[in-house]
Structure 1
Amino acid sequence: MPVNTADPRFVQLSFANSSVTIFYFGATVTSWTVDGHERLFLSSKALLDSSKAIRGGIPLVFPHFGSVSYSKLPQHGFARNSTWKFLGAVKDSSDEVVVQFELRPELVPEHLRALWQHDFRLVYTVRLADRTLTTSLRAENPGSESFLFTSLLHTYLRIANVDDVAVRGFENRQYLDKVTPGTFTETRSEAKIAMEVDRVYQQVDGEVLVENTHIGDVRIHKTNFPDVVLWNPWIEKAQAMADFGDEEYKNMVCVEVGSVSTPIVLEAGQSWEGQQILVV
């Protein structure tokens, strides 16, 4: 069965030798297996009871990344903390299986909705094909006033060992460093991780390649997402997170495509869409 809705918490997709699990809470993709190998990281301490954003997989960030001065919403907004409506399968063919989820204001928890009262509609499309996972987020403004937003796909990739991972595609790009505050230019052809890393690389063109020894490389293609966040909490921050194992920083890296450096102005009646394609 290519689309399985037997569990009330999530939808499972199957195609060829691949499978995907998507929770209704946050429309969060929590698993992507290819040839029996898991390619996404999900913390062993992640809460899957809808009480908190899921720590791992691909959480959705909307209407803003981090915390911003123009919004009272908590970090990363409300999309990852809302239960989305499953719209069903929109395609089931020999090439791919495609499903969609929807989020409207009435589905956002009341205490969060009160902090951001714009009218909106989000549609999240998940496409599973042979060795490829495509996730697309569309934002629509059906209201009468414009609103500002930023958005990001907070992708956690599973890795065998952080010492063996390199990320390519950032050379000569400016980045905002949140660990050592400031804006710098990446001079390396490959970004390695040997300490806490929290960087927003700006105007990243072309493919981002995550060289993942032992598990296998991941190629990331993106559309309408000019920025890429590279994040690993390292030792102290890993220990400070209740929903993250103390040693799990060794087995994950976040490579997050988004549009976060400059807020998008979505005028009344307009829409915007960003897409990520993961290929192994």
Structure 2
Amino acid sequence: MDTDLAARVQESDVVLLDGGEGTSVVVHLHGATALSWKCGGREILFLSKQAVLDSSKAIRGGIPLVFPQFGPWTCGPQHGFARNKRWSVDSQPQMENGTVKCSLALTDDEDTRKVWNYQFKLVYTLELTTSSLSTRLTVHNTGGESFTFTTLMHSYFLTPDISTTSVRGLKGLTYTDKVQDGKDFQEDRDDVTIPENYDRVYQKCPSTVTMDCSSHTVSVNLSNFTDVVVWNPWSEKAKTMSDFGNEEYKTMVCVEAGSVSSPVEIAAGQQLSFQQTLKVHAKL
């Protein structure tokens, strides 16, 4: 963990996956939020310099987890409670055949049942290699009735310059534009660039989309996720966010794997897994 991040967090609040050779992941137990992913010494994730890391609110940056509700929620906090709860370590980081693996867990409690009266267990598994990070969320319905949910991995990627950053793999897809009153449109570009406030939910996505910037690309491989959200608050909205710097929109983009356009149903006693695999491709 670099010195700047180490100075901002309590050691007891984070778990470190160390793959050696400048490759590591730091996960905060608040929300099971990956704060940092370094690949060959390069930081891949964006974490706001103003992010609150004292477990009092959701963390602005990294990879927060959304469950059981994406977006506004009449029952509780926006994007659900998973990103605001303290998770437990289900299995400590362990190296095996060149892969570092760790699991965190969250189960229903009195607080969650007050807003969403279902029994569940979430298991979040991270697997780190020299060039990739896989994050898998397994939802266990431990109660006696079915329930529905939406879920998403809210990945914030660091980029040298948003003006030379694009997202590929979305051409031809229908997207809901939350900036334009939730209207639906069709994407006609090979390279989706972000020149303004973006909040778009792309539906029925292919298995891989790619974030491309001047220094590297990150491929996002989806397993059991149906949607990808592309988000950047741009200048005016950035100024309204207390945990986000006014100019930080220039060095980040969110490319978020999720199942959010329609609810997922899980029967009593069943489990469902959702996974993204992020892989870094350096440019020569």
What is residue 82 of structure 1 aligned with on the other side?
Answer: 85
SS at 1:194 equivalent: coil
2:14 corresponds to 1:10: yes
What is residue 62 of structure 1 aligned with on the other side?
Answer: 67
Structure 2: which 5+ residue stretches go unaligned?
Answer: 1-9
Query: Retained in 2: the 8 A contact 1:169–1:206?
Result: no
Structure 1: which 5+ residue stretches go unaligned?
Answer: 1-5
Q: Hey, what's the Cα distance between the residues in 1 that align with 2:77 and 2:61?
A: 18
Q: Hey, what's the Cα distance between the residues in 1 that align with 2:241 and 2:62?
A: 16
Alignment of 1:1-280 (within 5 A): 7-17=11-21, 18-68=23-73, 71-89=74-92, 91-106=94-109, 110=111, 112-181=112-181, 182-214=183-215, 216-280=216-280
Q: How many residues align?
A: 269
Q: Hey, what's the Cα distance between the residues in 2 that align with 1:75 and 1:240?
A: 17
Query: Retained in 1: the 8 A contact 2:40–2:130?
Result: no
Structure 1 residue 169 displacement after superposition? 0.5
SS at 2:12 equivalent: coil
Superposition CA RMSD, Å: 1.3
Query: Retained in 1: the 8 A contact 2:17–2:93?
Result: no
Structure 1 residue 90 displacement after superposition? 6.7
What is residue 3 of structure 1 aligned with on the other side?
Answer: none
Q: Hey, what's the Cα distance between the residues in 2 that align with 1:90 and 1:193?
A: 36
Query: Retained in 2: the 8 A contact 1:29–1:57?
Result: yes
Q: Which amino acid aligns with 1:230?
A: V
Q: Hey, what's the Cα distance between the residues in 2 that align with 1:272 and 1:155?
A: 20
Runs of 4+ aligned structure 1 residues displaced above 6 Å come to none
Q: Hey, what's the Cα distance between the residues in 2 that align with 1:99 and 1:264?
A: 26
Q: Which amino acid aligns with 1:13?
A: L
SS at 1:235 equivalent: helix
Structure 1 residue 73 displacement after superposition? 1.3
Q: Hey, what's the Cα distance between the residues in 2 that align with 1:225 and 1:201?
A: 11
Q: Which amino acid aligns with 1:168?
A: R
What is residue 5 of structure 2 aligned with on the other side?
Answer: none
Q: Hey, what's the Cα distance between the residues in 2 that align with 1:113 and 1:81?
A: 15
Structure 1 residue 91 displacement after superposition? 4.5
Q: Which amino acid aligns with 1:45?
A: Q
Q: What TM-score do the two structures reach when normalised by structure 2?
A: 0.92
Query: Retained in 2: the 8 A contact 1:89–1:97?
Result: no
Structure 1 residue 44 displacement after superposition? 0.3
- Identical-residue share of aligned pairs (%): 45
Q: Hey, what's the Cα distance between the residues in 2 that align with 1:10 and 1:113?
A: 26
Query: Retained in 1: the 8 A contact 2:222–2:276?
Result: yes
Q: Which amino acid aligns with 2:32?
A: A
Q: Which amino acid aligns with 1:209?
A: T
Query: Retained in 1: the 8 A contact 2:207–2:223?
Result: no
Q: Hey, what's the Cα distance between the residues in 1 that align with 2:158 and 2:20?
A: 21
Query: Retained in 2: the 8 A contact 1:219–1:279?
Result: yes
Q: Hey, what's the Cα distance between the residues in 2 that align with 1:148 and 1:87?
A: 25
SS at 2:126 equivalent: strand
Q: Hey, what's the Cα distance between the residues in 1 that align with 2:117 and 2:106?
A: 14
Q: Which amino acid aligns with 2:60?
A: R
Query: Retained in 1: the 8 A contact 2:66–2:79?
Result: yes
Q: What TM-score do the two structures reach when normalised by structure 1?
A: 0.93
